[in-house]
């Protein structure tokens, strides 16, 4: 799929995997890391080409493949709990970004829209030309939010790869990184569905953490998504999953009933 120099995301994730292996499996860390790298290279060759360095979202797939490779290389020991810990370490390492980005400043959200609109034009051209394989599709603010920054990603090559190889339990824990990234930006990610949990798309609505929309029912959506990931496909989890989905549906209905000032009139 992707060749040439590794992305910054891959290099930093490899460092985190090394830290984890040396912490929990010191006697076998070096062999585990070598096997992780071998498996990662194999996964790269097997995965569709989603644009490589030409696609700003491709690093997310690369990171997912690397985490799946570590899971496989460790004999399935570096699973969901390991990913959670790795993502927490990643959050800590990126904490200085919080001094630069503040989602409570409208002009910064406007820059996000400008950046993503430009990216979508490129994405659409590539897709129309039959390039970039099963890369995420994108819609910009289909929910017509008047506040914050909203977009949808349609489909997910990470989820497709995981499903084909039996790694579905891991994918929601990778998705949970989006909520930590939001915190780095002094934002709240309001998300009602993900491809990892069976939807056809992932919806993203970032609002400043001081926004009224960031609290109340919306503050519970992240908790539900994490709970769903814990129970996802576990033998005893199906009833809990159904209960949480019903709860989420009620929350989504409340979200749709947002005060008028938080929406754009259609």
Quick: pLDDT tens for 167-181. 999 999 999 999 999
Q: Which residue has 């989504």 as its token pair? A: 252
Among residues 44, 67, 93, the one where a domain terminates is 93
Widest Cα–Cα separation across the chain: 61
φ/ψ of 153, rounded to 5, equals: -105, 130
Residues 106 and 229 in one domain: yes
Give kind and range of the element (H or E) at residue 205.
Answer: strand 201-208
Q: Judge if pTM exceeds 0.85.
A: no
Same domain membership, residue 34 and residue 121: no
Q: Are residues 161 and 242 in the same domain?
A: yes
Do residues 205 and 256 touch, judged by C-beta distance below 8 A?
A: no
Is residue 5's pLDDT more than 80? Answer: no
Give the pLDDT of residue 35: 98
Segment 108-117 shows an average pLDDT of: 95
Report residue 102's pLDDT band, with 50, 70 and 90 as the boundaries: very high
Radius of gyration of the chain (CA): 19
For the stretch 183-197, pLDDT in tens is 999 999 998 889 988
Residue 103 predicted with pLDDT over 80: yes
Residues 133 and 12 in one domain: no
Predicted confidence at residue 197, as pLDDT, reads 85
Q: Do 177 and 128 fall within a single domain?
A: yes
Domain boundary among 46, 71, 93: 93
Is residue 34 located within the same domain as residue 73?
Answer: yes
Whether 1 shows a pLDDT value over 70: the answer reads no
Looking at residues 51-76, what average pLDDT do you find?
96
Q: What is the pLDDT of residue 224?
A: 52
**Residue-level pLDDT at 260:** 47
Q: Are residues 198 and 147 in the same domain?
A: yes
Q: How far apart are CA 20 and CA 15, in angstroms?
A: 9
Give the residue-averaged pLDDT of 83-99.
93
Mean pLDDT of 103-115: 95
What's the structural domain count of the chain? Answer: 2
- Domain assignment of residue 216, given as a range: 101-266
């Amino acid at each position: 799929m992707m060749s040439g120099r590794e992305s910054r995301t891959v290099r930093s994730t490899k460092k985190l995997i090394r830290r984890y292996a040396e912490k929990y499996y010191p006697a076998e860390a070096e062999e585990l890391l070598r096997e992780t790298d071998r498996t990662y290279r194999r996964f790269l060759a097997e995965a569709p080409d989603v644009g490589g360095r030409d696609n700003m979202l491709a690093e997310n797939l690369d990171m997912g493949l690397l985490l799946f490779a570590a899971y496989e290389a460790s004999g399935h020991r570096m699973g969901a709990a390991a990913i959670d810990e790795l993502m927490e370490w990643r959050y800590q390492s990126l904490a200085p970004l919080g001094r630069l980005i503040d989602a409570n400043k409208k002009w910064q959200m406007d820059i996000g829209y400008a950046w993503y609109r430009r990216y979508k034009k490129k994405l659409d051209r590539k897709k129309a030309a039959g390039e970039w394989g099963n890369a995420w599709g994108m819609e910009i603010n289909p929910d017509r939010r008047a506040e914050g920054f909203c977009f949808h990603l349609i489909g997910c090559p990470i989820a497709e790869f995981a499903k084909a190889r039996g790694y579905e339990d891991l994918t929601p824990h990778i998705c949970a990184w989006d909520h930590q990234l939001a915190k780095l930006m002094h934002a709240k990610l309001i998300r009602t569905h993900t491809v990892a949990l069976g939807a056809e798309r992932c919806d993203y609505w970032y609002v400043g953490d001081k926004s009224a929309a960031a609290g109340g029912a919306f503050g519970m959506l992240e908790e539900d998504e994490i709970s769903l990931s814990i129970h996802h496909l576990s033998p005893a989890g199906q009833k809990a999953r159904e209960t949480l989905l019903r709860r989420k549906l009620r929350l989504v209905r409340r979200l749709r009933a947002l005060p008028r000032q938080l929406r754009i009139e259609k």
